[in-house]
Chains A and B, each alone.
Chain A
Amino acid sequence: VTTTVDAPKTDGGGTPPPPRTPARTALAFLRNTWRGLTAMRTALILLFLLSVAAMPGALLPQRVLNEPQVETYITDHGWWGRLLDKLQFYNVFGSVWFSAIYVLLFISLVGCLLPRTVEYFRQATAKPVRTPRNLSRLPHHARAGVAGDAEDVLAVARGQLRGWRTVEREEPDGSRSISAERGYLRETGNLVFHFAMLGLIVAFALGKMFSYSGQVIVLANGTQQAEFCNSGVLNYDSFTPGLRVDGTKLDPFCVRINDFKATYLPSGEPESFNSNISYQSGDDLTTNTWQPYDLHENAPLRTAGDRVYLLGHGYAPQFTVTFPDGQKRTGLIQWKPDDQTTFLSEGATKFDPPDTPNASQLDKKQLAITGLFAPTAAFNGSILTSTYPALNNPWAAVQIYQGNLGQSSGAAGQSIFTIDQGQVANGQLKMVKMVNMKLGSSVSLPDGTKISFDQVQQWVSLMVAHDPTQDYVLLFAVLLFLGLATSLTVKRRRVWVRVTPSGDPQGPRRTVLEVGGLARTDQAGYGEEFTKLSARLLESARAVPGRKDA
């Protein structure tokens, strides 16, 4: 961002101001807007606005992070909550006002960088500026008279200024000077930083367009139910596409979850999660070859341009229903953990009766097992709770319903974790038994149906993420950091050396050596460097005649 604000230049008194025409006025307006927008003060104010505008994103619940929390907040806060909703405060980073600020900042940045880049390349070959007439008026200055020829003193100074960009000039009064400048890297770093920032913003925005992510729950038992293929959106439980993603052309790959293992501390805090999985992508899909992978926290599977994360886990109790005619059906579906520390879970395992050709008959004989599951059971009276997340003493407290589950009523999809309470209320679904079941136990229903609680399996929830630009974002972030570090550590500074022959032309040669220094940037600490440099210069200049005389 430019450091100075150009005041519009006023014409000299001689020429009268050009006549006002609409085109001229519009042009002047545009020019002034551009100047105003690219001024440092504007950039500063925009930076402030950006930070203030981002704050609600941390203080208020955000839709992208937690939709239900937003709804609760709105209901809890009445008109105020609804007003904030209208003003897009629950979607700060997609809101019109936030976008307006960063777009303006972006323009301001570009407007600053363009002239600066031109200037940078002009400077790249420019010679250090002419030595000021009066070096003693500079912030740093030293002066000494030394014995010896001006030419020799100058040669010594030249040697001391190795690493500086220098130019030597002869001055009208016969003295000679070196202008030296160094620290050009500061501006390089500065430009790299700002351009990297632009690149990062662009890459980030592109990522928002072409990325997608989705979540899916699969059983962790290595069977068909433990497989997930990224072949279509419907395979996901939930899917969040980027603005330009329509759900077709997903990167094809498949994963199969073979097992899941969690270890816990005595307190119930998790200690480690890991899951052995198999995956196939690319040619492996056609040859149906599976590659092994150890999936755990902080170690996503990266394949086919996508990443697969282990996000969560839970239990799936397995029940077998033996119908009065002797036919068996096994139900195995995930129950959802209500408590993340004890894994007390709730869910509903639903069954259709076998051999029912008629859909209306099917509806009447459906069966659902719903209730709570505790991996390590404890009883408060007959109320089941869980005390530990591992499978130490699994129990299920279930209510068994028979009747019409209402799945074919055409209404929107039923939750897999609950039964439709409407069906219970209208009498089509009746509770026939309520019982606490230990793993391995079974119960009989009045109509002779037998239900056994066979085993407990685990499920994992996976997240699949695709972001084609994130490598570029990383690249720009690294450049941004390097540019920033360079521009803040390197100082741009100038030093001038002037030697003037003095004394009697017939007598021993004497030279006045003057050194002046100027730090060009807002960088403390040049004083120390200058002191050292000028001391060294004077020191070595003094050594000149000594060497000659000897």
Chain B
Amino acid sequence: MAVNETFAQYSNWAYGSAIGIYVLAMLFCLAEQAFGRVKTKQAATVAAPALVTAGADSAGSAVADLPDVDGTPAPEDEPQDAAPGQRRPLTERLGRMGVSLLVLGLVVHLLAIVLRGMATDRPPWGNMYEYMSVLCFVALAVWLGLMRKFPIRRATPYALLPIVILLFLGGTVLYTQADPVVPALQSYWLAVHVSAAASASGILLVPGVASVLYLMRSAYDSNPDRWFRRLGPKLPAKATLDRLAYRTTIFGFPLFTFGVICGAIWAESAWGRFWGWDPKETTAFVAWVVYAAYLHSRATAGWRGNRAAIINALGFCVMIFNLFFVNLVTTGLHSYAGVG
């Protein structure tokens, strides 16, 4: 199985370009963060939802939705964009350019992944470098997708920061040249198990970031003069971040579960047992339990809010620990980093 060196080379160039574009996007978004003024909507200006007022021909009275825990109306302390029709200020336009750059970066990134797969003629997630690339791609794609539903554009630099760091580490320290995988990995489970694990990790990066932001915003809200005096008001509202974290976790967690189950099925046919407390398996188990604790904490009085956010952030720390420490430091059956 020969490696197509041309594709491999193009893939590397695309990977490097994607990082460059992401950094540029981050600079644009940071400019918005740094120089943009924050207008927060006053409670009085909240428009009553149109649906009940419009066409309520006579006796009907329009009653606005109460802002509820999972409600659609934007919380009042959300940073707002300029109203439609108004010319957008430069900073906001910069932020939007940053997002456009992000889309471009994502396309180039996808190209890097696809070319890598074509070069090696196997799923392009066979070592740690490739895994990291897929993880970051999924995380960013999810973030961009969520931007349509949640007012999180201004928080983009916070999501980009860990992603760019991971991609940089992947491209330098962990870089492995395009090669076929060892016989143990030559299975269709590579396509299923590893993609599920990488996507789940990528998705779970989003609630991890959102939870850290939640804690920052929560500290700011409780004492605006002491904590994050400048950053705090530019962060999305607590309710938004909490909702974002929850809704991405309930998607990432089952996928992670699926990935672990697939891993167990594969381990049964590759290593002779479906579960053997290999360091990777153990840490995955720990992460799974932490995320289970997060979901339970959201249904326990006194554990919502800050505590839930801490648990979620902790969950992502365990995922990252599992990625780096277990692959690079311990020796287990999962040591496929290809870093020597």
Contacts and interface: CB of A to CB of B under 8 A. Distances in A.
B254 A481 contact: yes
Contact of A519 (B70, B279, B285, B332): B70
Given A62-B277, A142-B52, A298-B186, A4 B70 contact: no
Nearest to B326: A58
A419 B300 CA distance: 66
Contact of B179 (A54, A269, A463, A489): A269
B186 A65 contact: no
B340 to A, nearest CB: 10
A36 to B, nearest CB: 14
Interface stretch (A41-49, A149-157, A314-322, A328-336): A41-49
Nearest to B293: A47
A126 B67 CA distance: 30
Contact of A467 (B253, B273, B292): B273
Interface in B16-55: 49, 51-52, 55
B269 A300 contact: yes
A291 interface: no
Contacts of B100: none
A1 interface: yes
B292 A477 contact: no
Nearest to A54: B286
Interface size bracket, A side: 35 or more
Given A43-B296, A44-B296, A478-B261, A141 B51 contact: no
A485 B258 CA distance: 10
Interface stretch (A226-234, A387-395, A525-533): A525-533
A75 interface: no
Contact of A300 (B55, B253, B272, B330): B272
A522 B293 CA distance: 14
A3 interface: yes
B14 to A, nearest CB: 25
Given A3-B299, A58-B282, A480-B257, A140 B68 contact: yes
B339 interface: no
Contacts, number: 192
Interface stretch (B107-115, B153-161, B225-233, B243-251): B243-251
A58 B277 CA distance: 8
Interface string A27-54: 0000000000000110110011011001
A241 interface: no
B85 interface: no
B265 to A, nearest CB: 7
A93 B71 CA distance: 44
A139 B72 contact: no
B80 interface: no
A129 interface: no
Interface in A501-539: 502-503, 510, 512, 519, 522-528, 531, 534-535, 538
B96 interface: no
B184 A481 contact: no
Interface in B51-89: 51-52, 55-63, 65-66, 68-72
Contact of A534 (B51, B56, B70): B51
B277 A57 contact: yes
Contact of B301 (A5, A54, A144, A204): A5
A260 interface: no
B52 A481 contact: no
Interface size bracket, B side: 35 or more
A465 B60 contact: no
A218 interface: no
Interface string B234-272: 000000000100110010011001100100111011111
A289 to B, nearest CB: 26
B279 A297 contact: no
A298 B187 contact: yes
Given A265-B180, A297-B270, A309-B272, A143 B66 contact: no
Contacts of B70: 519, 523-527
Contact of B186 (A272, A534, A542): A272
Contacts of A139: 65-66, 68-69, 71
B275 interface: yes
Interface string B315-340: 00010000000100010100000000
Contacts of B301: 4-5
B274 to A, nearest CB: 6
Contacts of A452: none
A40 B295 CA distance: 11
Given A54-B285, A58-B282, A528-B72, A142 B299 contact: no
A64 interface: yes
B168 to A, nearest CB: 26
B173 interface: no
A477 B261 contact: yes
Given A4-B301, A40-B296, A465 B55 contact: no
Nearest to A57: B282
A503 B59 contact: yes
Contacts of B58: 145, 510
A92 B281 CA distance: 14
Contact of B254 (A269, A307, A467, A488): A488
Contact of A531 (B51, B59, B268, B285): B51
B289 interface: yes
A47 B289 contact: yes
B63 A51 contact: no
A50 B297 CA distance: 15
A44 B283 CA distance: 18
A267 B182 CA distance: 12
B276 interface: yes
B254 A51 contact: no
Nearest to A48: B293
A299 B269 contact: yes
B151 to A, nearest CB: 15
B274 A522 contact: no
Interface in B153-206: 179-180, 182-184, 186-187, 189
Most buried by A among B59, B261, B296: B59
Contacts of B5: none
B296 A47 contact: yes
Given A136-B63, A145-B57, A463-B272, A44 B293 contact: yes
Q: Which 10 A-B pairs have the closest CB atoms?
A: A145-B59, A144-B60, A524-B70, A145-B60, A139-B68, A58-B282, A298-B187, A58-B279, A488-B250, A51-B289
Given A474-B274, A478-B261, 13 more contacts: A41-B302, A51-B318, A142-B51, A143-B60, A144-B56, A271-B183, A467-B274, A481-B257, A481-B261, A522-B299, A524-B243, A524-B246, A527-B72
15 contacts: A44-B293, A44-B300, A51-B289, A65-B332, A141-B63, A143-B60, A144-B56, A269-B179, A298-B184, A481-B261, A522-B298, A524-B246, A525-B247, A527-B65, A538-B52
